[in-house]
Structure 1
Amino acid sequence: MDTPPVQYLRTGDGFNIAYARTGRGRPLVFVPLNFSHIQVFWKGESILAQWLHGLAARFEVIQYDGQGQGMSTRGLKESFSALDQVSDLQAVVDHLGLESFVLLARGPNGHAAIRFAAANPQRVDALILFSLPAVGTAWPQTFAQALPAENWKLFLQSFTAFDGRLNDADESVERMAQTVNQQDWNILIREWLVSDVRDLLPLVQAPTLVIHPRSVIQPAMEDSMNLAAEIPNSRMLLIGGASQLGNPEEGLSAIDSFLAGLPPRGAQPGVAEPPTVDAKTSAPSSHVGEGGRQGSRLSPRQLEILGLLVSGKTNREIASDLVLSLRTVERHVNDIYERLGVRNRTEAVAFALRNLH
């Protein structure tokens, strides 16, 4: 199968997002890996190339490079946040007019997939996650942040060994160098390491398959198990293989079986209705929270704090980041709840993911 042709869309904040679609069948959106380039990894006999060709034989595969990655616009702003990663995904599926699809993700960008699935239950037919912790601090901070900031080339070489790519180490380093530059990586990893989606896991309604290769020790198998345990309609499967995606043949077979065993869409029992949004006010309907000033606008400071809530930061961490007292942050958070008409942090984050792009 040839390398798919690249197309572009332009986001509302001026970024050009590269995307490609190939194969036929049910749409499957492949969320960018931490090293992403929608053309480079189709080439050769790498594990990722085998995965991509196997998926394209089963699905219409939609890939895209996020901001700062691959063939998309480079040069991330310091204000880049977790919401921007969700916005990239939203922009691609909206641009292509995808009403529903399978969502597949591995690595730190998997949190963007979880955030999208929690906020858009009607659009995600199934969620497939690989080797993914719910908390960014589970990633090795010294390796992922300190080393690349100090020695970029050594980091790329070390990552090749870390991800089980020793058979083609030189080629892997060359490919990874094309996916992201040092400056953008430092901004991306900063956001990944503080990301926390634990509060969102109970909101994911899509049937979910969590896959973890047995030989992968970072993130730990326990991290994937804990993630699967908190998603209501999920199952976990161990497969062989040394890379973060595992053995392609085993993994693809597992995905085939998982999707074949799902009930017809809309026939899943025991799933609560998600909070609805009033189309005129863009505020939650009355059953989300009582007495809220629905439709009221948030101040710039409250929007800033809401963005930090989405990234998973605690009130104390927000106070430190913004140089505010803890009491001031708590007051702002309570005001945000009241203005949005929500009851807690989980509902506030879900509202933000649905409405603030």
Structure 2
Amino acid sequence: MRLILIDHEAAFVTRVRQLARRAGVIDPVDEVADLADLAQVAKANPKALIVGMVSTTMAVRGAIKEFVQRCPNVPLIAVGGNDPDRMRAALGEGARAYIRRSDVGDELLSALEVVRDGGVFVPPVVAMRPGGEPLMTVAGPVPAGFFREDAGKQLTPRQREILSMIRAGRNNQEISEALDLTVGTVKIHITAIFKALGVRNRTQAMVAADWLDLPVVEAVVTSA
């Protein structure tokens, strides 16, 4: 496996090199200036197992998506902070993993194993909504196939409504008020959604919805 870094911080690059060397799973670890350069390396080495690792601060919006379309066989690991919105944006554009700079020592090797096996790695992310209310729960490493590819067909119209609201970051109380349902009924629907998607929590449901590109459904007040 060949790891190629796109990052602006020399100390972080050195840290990644040390982790890779200690694990003995990557050789060599190189650097390039941007995703365009990474695409050129991939083109020049079509038979190599290359994994790209790019800081989200060095990838403008749309750059990851463009790279994935250009080099679909080169998985990208996005690196950023403990930011679920940035994580979802990177994964939504096609990155195969998201790891946090502050936890690279704990997350890098797991991410490499997951993407090598064709999966999507989501770190344990705990985020807070502006009002101080928990939005995300701990997701942990996600193995290949962590959601069903046909999940969109499994959902009822009501479940698609609720999933679109989960994707928008609404909590159970907000969903219940918008749809004129009890919180208990909302929880029952969410349990069914998780089962249909094959996920364990809201973080994974959001990522699955992004990957499946389910259309946003306008909430309407109807009976359950």
| TM-score bucket (shorter structure) | 0.3 to 0.5
Query: 1 or 2 for the larger relative contact order (CA 8 Å, sep ≥6)?
Result: 1
With the length of structure 2 as denominator, give the TM-score of the two structures. Answer: 0.44
Q: TM-score, normalised by structure 1?
A: 0.31
Judging by fraction of residues, say which structure has more helix: 2
Larger Rg: 1 or 2? 1
